[in-house]
A = this chain, B = another copy of it.
């Protein structure tokens, strides 16, 4: 079967290239290129990425002016006065058909440097504050937005055991731990979000284990275009009461929590296994 080449953008957040994460990243880049895809990588540590969103992110500021993260970001984005490092990452996002965020799970979230990539690259007017606000449409977000039509996937390593992240595991279900990222960071500006690829117990991976890791990841990379995304509900598609933005009482009646924002009617068996908890 002939595969159409895609543009794949990997954002990589590990401090050591000779780590498991580094080896997995190298494998992914090679594998994707061999399949004919274009690949770009932002290796945040190697780039010396600035993690802290602050007043210096707008190149043109009035002296003594109070810094307002949203207002300043909005102005800088609209006026083309964003710091160059931010604009470059936005350009890579526009270029990409698929975005992969690769990171080790540190304290049940992303490393600070990757959070700082989100905080800064996700400018007001680019990733939020997009589209009209009215009684039926509360901005282009959660299923609409600048990044609509693109796909995104998390590629995560965890030191702990898989059972610790199961539905009744002590850390909480992995899909719930990742929900603020998958729904709040990826789906929010429009991405279709593929089920995450998580590698557990990374301190116990020998050579044979690494081969298995690459095989499993290779299958995911070969099916980036076909894999069904998590069927999160669109904000402006009629499922939510606007402006309260609560789920309509007749949908998932009596239930609450992250799971109700996945539309089980359109979920494939694999998705529902991954997201219903």
Q: Which of B16, B164, B245 makes the CB contact (< 8 A) with A164? A: B245
Q: A55-B15, A107-B184, A185-B107 given as contacts; is B245 within 8 A of A161 (CB)?
A: yes
Q: Which of B68, B240, B247, B260 makes the CB contact (< 8 A) with A19? A: B68
Give a binary string over A97-112; 1 marks a CB under 8 Å from any B CB, 0 the rest.
Answer: 0000000101111111
Interface residues of A in 42-64 (CB under 8 A from B): 45, 51-55
Q: Does A67 contact B (CB under 8 A)?
A: yes
| Smallest CB gap from A276: residue in B | B256
User: In the bound complex, do residue B261 and residue A277 qualify as a contact, i.e. CB atoms below 8 Å apart?
Assistant: no
Q: In the bound complex, how far is the Cα of B127 from the Cα of A108, in angstroms?
A: 14
Q: Does A180 contact B (CB under 8 A)?
A: yes
Q: Does A27 contact B (CB under 8 A)?
A: no
When distances are taken between beta carbons in the complex, the residues of chain B under 8 Å from A107 are: 115, 118-119, 122, 180, 184-185
Q: In the bound complex, how far is the Cα of B179 from the Cα of A53, in angstroms?
A: 24
Indicate how many identical chains form the complex: 2
When distances are taken between beta carbons in the complex, the residues of chain B under 8 Å from A76 are: none
Among the 9-residue stretches A82-90, A148-156, A170-178, the one with 4 or more Cβ atoms under 8 Å from chain B is A170-178
Q: Does A125 contact B (CB under 8 A)?
A: no
Q: Which of B67, B179, B277 makes the CB contact (< 8 A) with A172? A: B179
Q: In the bound complex, how far is the Cα of B15 from the Cα of A67, in angstroms?
A: 8
When distances are taken between beta carbons in the complex, the residues of chain B under 8 Å from A52 are: 15, 45, 51, 111-113
Minimum distance in angstroms from A53 CB to a CB of chain B:
7
Q: Which of B159, B166, B177, B246 makes the CB contact (< 8 A) with A169? A: B246
Q: In the bound complex, how far is the Cα of B185 from the Cα of A180, in angstroms?
A: 16
User: In the bound complex, do residue A257 and residue B163 qualify as a contact, i.e. CB atoms below 8 Å apart?
Assistant: no
| Smallest CB gap from A180: residue in B | B108
User: In the bound complex, do residue B179 and residue A183 qualify as a contact, i.e. CB atoms below 8 Å apart?
Assistant: no
- 19 residue pairs A–B, Cβ–Cβ below 8 Å: A15-B52, A15-B67, A16-B67, A19-B68, A51-B52, A51-B112, A52-B112, A53-B112, A106-B119, A107-B118, A111-B119, A161-B243, A169-B244, A169-B246, A170-B235, A170-B246, A172-B261, A173-B256, A180-B180
